[in-house]
Amino acid sequence: MKEKAKAFAIKAHFGQTRKNSNAPYITHPIRVAERLQQAGFRDELVSAGYLHDVAEDTPYTLEDIKKEFGPEVARIVAAHTEDKSKSWQERKQHTINTIKEADKEIKYLIIADKLDNLLGLEKDLAEQGDRVWEKFNAGPEKQKWYNQSIAENMYSGIQTSDIPDYFSEYEEAVLRVFSHSSDL
């Protein structure tokens, strides 16, 4: 299932690039899925890691994912798929609400995704400086609010024994990326 999901995501994201580089977009879902795999999670969650942006950013739908990978993978992907018809603020508030209330597997996917995005942002800021923000729908102050809100709510409802190591890695990245500027 995982290899099929990886191949499907490669096909779906073909030709897309990351926001601040010419790197193929697929590098992001692959890193998210690999982080989930390394944490020892089940195949359905790892597969959802590969597919997490397909319905949001490609012509493929959640129904396509359900048909190819079953209702469980589609459910996990759907919980993390943004409604692009809504404003940036509405979409991000929805993700914050989801992270507060979702089951732990959905939290695992969201944080793996947000961590990879934040590590990429950190690298881009180091290489390109503040012009990086020009490619975002919201500036650094809103990005700080969003990432801090995710970090503050990601532990809600999860037992300590169920928290993967990369949750603390995300918290540390939020601090590194957003605490260096006193004007945020």
Active-site residue numbers?
56-57
Is the four-CA dihedral 40, 28, 166, 95 of positive or negative sign?
negative
Q: Please give the C-alpha separations between residue 158 and each of 48, 76, 105, 108, in angstroms, as whole numbers.
A: 20, 17, 10, 10
Element (H, E) at 159: none
Radius of gyration (Cα) for the chain, nearest Å?
16
Task: Enumerate residues 6+ apart whose C-beta is below 8 A from 6.
Answer: 30, 33, 50
Rounded to 5°, the CA angle 74-20-99 comes to 35
* Burial grade of 51 (CB within 10 A; 0-12, 13-18, 19 or more): buried
Residues in the chain: 184
Residue 119 phi, psi (nearest 5): -65, -35
